[in-house]
A and B are shown apart, each in its own frame.
Chain A
Amino acid sequence: MPGIVVGIDGSTCSNMAVAEGAVLAGELGEKLYVVFGYEPYRAGGEIQDHRLALEELGLQVGNKAVEEAKEAGADAELMLVDRDSVDALIATADEVDARMIVVGSYGDSPLKGAILGSTPHKLVHLSKRPVLVVHGKEED
C-alpha cells in the first residue's frame, strides 16, 4: 500500500501541508508519513548538540503534526531523518514507495529561494514522484 510523505519544519507554514496530506491520506485510506529532515552545516565542527536540539524540535513539532493528522482521519507516523530536508523527503518517499510528496511553500520569490535554498523548488525538480506544493502563510 503506497503512502503519502509530507515534509515539515518547525514553522506554522508546514501545518497547511500536513492538513492537506492528512485529508488526501484519509480519503485514499493510505498512511501519512510526516518527515522532519534536518542536518546542521558541518563546517566549524561541534555539531552534535546542535543536532540533538534539532531532533528535539523535530519530535516536538512532529508529534503535534501527527496528532493533527490523526484528528483529520489519517493514519500518521513521524519520521526524523538526519539529512537535508530535500534528501530526507526523497529518500523516505523511496523507502516507503510513496504515491506523492506534499510540502508547504512560504511563497518566497524564486530569487530568494535560489539564494537561501528552497525545499519545494528543489523537490519539484529532483523528485521522481509527484510533488504537491501547498501554499502556506507564515503566521507569527
Chain B
Amino acid sequence: MSVPDSVPPAGSGDGPSRGAKGLRSNAIGFVSSTVIGVASTAPGYSLAATLGFVAAAVGFQSPAIMIVAFIPMLFIATSYFYMNRADPDCGTTFTWVTKAMGPRAGWMGGWAIIVADVIVMANLAQIAGLYSYELVGWTAAAESTWAVTFLGVLWILLMTWIVGRSVELSAKTQNWLLGAELATLGAFAVVALYKVYADSPPGSVEPSLSWINPFAIDSFSALVSGVLLAVFIYWGWDSTVTVNEETKDSSRTPGLGALTATVILVLTYVIVSVAAQAYGGVDQLVENSDDVLSSLGTAVFGSPWDKILIIAVLTSAAASTQTTILPTARTSLSMARAKALPEKFGEVHERFFTPFFSTWVMGISSIVWYVGLTLLSENILYDSIAALGLMIAFYYGITGFACAIYYRRELLKSAKNFFFIGVCPVLGALMLTGILVKSVIDLSDPANSESGDSWLGLGPPLVIAILFAVIGLGLMLYWNKVSPVFFKRKPEVADPAVLTGEKQAVASFAAEED
C-alpha cells in the first residue's frame, strides 16, 4: 500500500469547486499495470479458441503468425497512445471517433464495442460451463447442451455480480484467475517440450527456427487468414496502452508495465503454440481445433494432471468474462454521459462505485443472446465468433483513421509526427480494413462458416454482423429523434499544444457541458 507525496485538497474555503482536477491520481504500480494488461487480453482462452484454426491455415508457422498478428495491433496502439494523450479524460473508441469523425461514426464505434463484448461473453460462458463439467469429470453433463448452457448462464451471472458488486473483489478475482492461467499454461509448455526432447512421443516434432519465420508460409492468402484469426488473440491489449499512459505524470517509469505485459503475451503465445505443435504435430491441432488445449492436456500430462489445462482454459474464460464486462459497461457509461444513450447507463452505484446499471444490462443482454442462440443452433454460437472478428476489425480500424484525421494539421510539422501519428495508425487501420474486406468476402460464402448454413445465400457470421449493424443504425436514428443533443456535435481538430506537451487537454464531453 503506497502513500502519495501529498494529497492536495479538492477545494478550499466554503465549498469545493470542481477542483478535483488538481488531485493527484494514484500512480498505478508496475505489477498491477502488467496484470491488467495481460488480463485484459485473456491469453489462455484466446489460444484455446484460435490455435487449431491458425494451424489449419498456416501449418507449422502458427508461432510466426502469433508474432505477425501483433503488427497491426501495434500500429493501432500508436493511435490509442496519441488519442489518449489528446484526450486523457476518455479512453474509448466512442469518444475519439466522435471527436475526429463526428457523432454518428462515434456512435457506431461504441455500438460495435458493446455488441462484440456481448457476443464474446456468450462464447466465454459456453467454454466456462463446458470446462467446469470437464474439470469434475461429469461427462454426461458436458455433453448436454442444456446443462452446459445452464452453467454458462450461472458463470455470466456470477461474473456480472462480482464486477457490479465490488471493485476489490473484482481485482482479487482477476489476480487469482490470471495467476492460475499463466502458471498452468507455463507448466504445460515446460512439460510438453521436455517430453518432446526426452521421450519423443509418437507424432511429436522437434521445434525448428522456421516455425517463427513468417516468410516460410507458402501462400500470402494463408498468411492473411492466419493473421485474421490471430488478431482476435490480441483483442483487449489496447487497454494496456491507455491504462499505463495515466502514469505519465508520476515518477514511475511510464509504459514499463505495458511493455512487460506485451512481452509476456507474445512469449506466452509463441511458447505455448510451439509446445503444442511440437508435442502433437499440426494435424493433432487441426483435428481438435474447437478445443486444442484440453485434448493435448490428456496426452501431455496423463490423468489426473490433465486437469491442469482444463483449469488454464476455465480460469482464462472466467477472467475474460470479467475483463469483457468491465469495458463494455464503461463504454455505455461514457456514451450515456455524452448523452448518446439514456442517462440511466451513466449512473454509478453510490456504495459500490461501479456502473451498476450498465454492468447488469450488459450481463443480462449476454444471457439473452447466449440462450437465444443456443435455442437456434449451437453451431451458430461458433459462427458468432467469426462475426466478432468483423466488429473488432471495424472499431480498431476506425480508431486508427480517427487518430490521423484528428491530428491532420499536426502531421506535417515533424517527421516524428508524420510517422507515429499519421503513418502507423493509418497503416494499422488499412491492414484491419483489408482484413475486414477479405473476411466479408470469405464469409459471404456459406461454406466457410462453422455451421455451413446459408442465410439468404450468405454465411451466418456475415448475416449476424450485418444484422447488428442494421440494429445499431436503427437505434442510433431512434435516439437521434428522442434526444438529438449528442448528434449536433461537430468534429474537432487536435490542439497543437497537446503534442508539444505544453498543455494537457482535459476536455471530455461531460466536463464541457457542465
Interface string of A46-59 (1 = CB under 8 A from B): 11111011110111
The contact string, 1 if C-beta is below 8 Å from chain A, for chain B 350-384, is: 11011100000000000000000000000000000
- Taken together as a complex, chains A and B put the C-alpha atoms of A126 and B3 apart, in Å, by 12
Residue B346, interface by CB 8 Å:
yes
Q: Does B126 contact A (CB under 8 A)?
A: no
Residue A90 is within 8 A (CB to CB) of chain B in the complex = yes
The answer, yes or no, to whether A66 is at the interface (CB within 8 Å) is: yes
Return the chain A residue nearest B39 by Cβ. A43
Shortest Cβ distance from B433 into chain A, in angstroms? Answer: 23
**Complex contacts, B330 vs chain A, CB 8 Å:** 40, 44-47, 49-50
In the complex the two chains form, what is the Cα distance from A95 to B5 in whole Å? 9
What B residues does A83 contact at CB under 8 A? 4, 7, 26
* B29-72 Cβ-contact flags toward A at 8 Å (1 or 0): 00011011001100000000000000000000000000000000
A71: chain B residues at CB < 8 Å are none
Which of the listed residues A11, A13, A44, A80 has the most CB atoms from chain B within 10 Å of its own CB?
A: A44
> Nearest residue in A to B322 (C-beta to C-beta)?
A43
B169 at the binding interface (Cβ < 8 Å): yes
* A53 interface neighbour in B11, B12, B28, B347, Cβ under 8 Å: B347
Distance from B287 Cβ to chain A, minimum over Cβ atoms (Å): 34
Within the complex, which residue of B3, B10, B170, B349 is in contact with A79, where a contact is CB–CB below 8 Å? Answer: B10
For the complex, is B202 an interface residue (Cβ under 8 Å from A)? no
Inter-chain contact B166/A50, CB cutoff 8 Å = no
Interface contact A52-B510, CB-CB below 8 Å: yes
Which one of B1, B10, B18 contacts A126 once the chains associate, using CB atoms below 8 Å? Answer: B1
Q: Which chain A residue shows the least CB distance to B337?
A: A49
Contact at A45–B243, with CB atoms within 8 Å? yes
Pick from B7, B169, B355: contact of A92, CB under 8 Å: B7
Known: A59-B18, A82-B20. A49 touches B90 (CB 8 A): yes
B40 touching A53 by the CB < 8 A rule? Answer: no
A102 close to B (CB within 8 Å): no
Residues of A within 8 A of B166 (CB): 115-117
- Is the beta-carbon distance between A49 and B510 smaller than 8 angstroms? yes
Closest-CB distance, B350 to chain A (whole angstroms): 3
Alpha-carbon distance A57/B24, docked complex (angstroms):
18
- Residues of B close to A26: CB separation below 8 A: none
- Give Cα A10–Cα B354 distance, bound, in whole angstroms: 12
CB within 8 Å of B: which A7-37 residues: 9-11, 13
> In the complex, which residues of chain A have a beta carbon less than 8 angstroms from the beta carbon of B337?
49, 52-53
Interface string of B218-254 (1 = CB under 8 A from A): 0000000000000000001011101100000000000
Knowing A62-B16, A78-B11, A80-B23, the reply to whether A46 touches B331 (Cβ < 8 A) is yes
- How many interface residues does A have (CB within 8 Å)? 48
A45 touches B3 (CB 8 A): no
The verdict on B511 contacting chain A, using a C-beta distance below 8 Å, is: yes
Report A-chain residues with C-beta under 8 Å of the C-beta of B511: 52
Question: Please, how many angstroms separate the alpha-carbon atoms of A67 and B333 in the complex?
Answer: 29
Chain B residues, CB < 8 A from A53: 333, 337, 346-348, 355, 510
Interface string of B320-355 (1 = CB under 8 A from A): 001111110011011001000000001111110111
Query: A9 vs B77: C-alpha distance in the bound complex, in angstroms?
Result: 36
Q: Are B174 and A45 in contact (CB under 8 A)?
A: no
A63: interface (CB < 8 Å) = yes
A41 CB to closest chain B CB (Å) equals 5
Contacts of B90 in A (CB 8 A): 46, 48-49
The reply to whether B167 and A117 contact each other, CB–CB distance below 8 Å, is yes
Using A52-B511, A79-B9, A117-B167 as known contacts, say yes or no to A46 and B242 having CB atoms under 8 A apart.
yes
With A10-B350, A54-B353 given, is the CB distance from A44 to B7 under 8 Å? no
B333 touches which of A11, A49, A82, A88 (Cβ 8 Å): A49
Pair A117/B168 contact, Cβ less than 8 Å: yes
Within the complex, the shortest CB–CB distance from B79 to chain A, in Å, comes to: 14
The verdict on B15 contacting chain A, using a C-beta distance below 8 Å, is yes
Give the Cβ gap from A113 to chain B, nearest Cβ, in Å. Answer: 10
Tell whether, in the assembled complex, residue B16 and residue A38 are in contact, meaning their CB atoms are under 8 Å apart: no
Q: Is the CB of A80 within 8 A of B16?
A: yes
Q: How far is the CB of B84 from chain A (nearest CB, A)?
A: 9
What residues of A have a CB within 8 angstroms of the CB of B239 in the complex?
43-46
Q: Is the C-beta of A101 less than 8 angstroms from some C-beta in chain B? A: no
Chain A residues near B171 (CB-CB < 8 A)? 41, 43
Residues of B within 8 A of A (CB): 1-4, 6-7, 9-12, 15-16, 18-20, 23-26, 28, 32-33, 35-36, 39-40, 88-92, 95, 165-171, 174, 236, 238-240, 242-243, 322-327, 330-331, 333-334, 337, 346-351, 353-355, 508, 510-511
> Which 8 A-B residue pairs are closest in the complex by CB-CB distance?
A45-B239, A10-B350, A117-B168, A44-B326, A44-B327, A49-B334, A80-B10, A11-B351
Q: List 7 A-B contacts (CB under 8 A).
A: A9-B351, A44-B239, A52-B508, A55-B20, A57-B353, A59-B20, A95-B7
User: Given A44-B327, A48-B90, A62-B16, 19 other A-B contacts at CB below 8 A?
Assistant: A38-B353, A40-B330, A41-B326, A42-B36, A43-B40, A43-B326, A44-B36, A45-B242, A46-B239, A46-B327, A49-B90, A50-B348, A50-B355, A53-B348, A66-B15, A79-B9, A82-B20, A82-B24, A115-B166
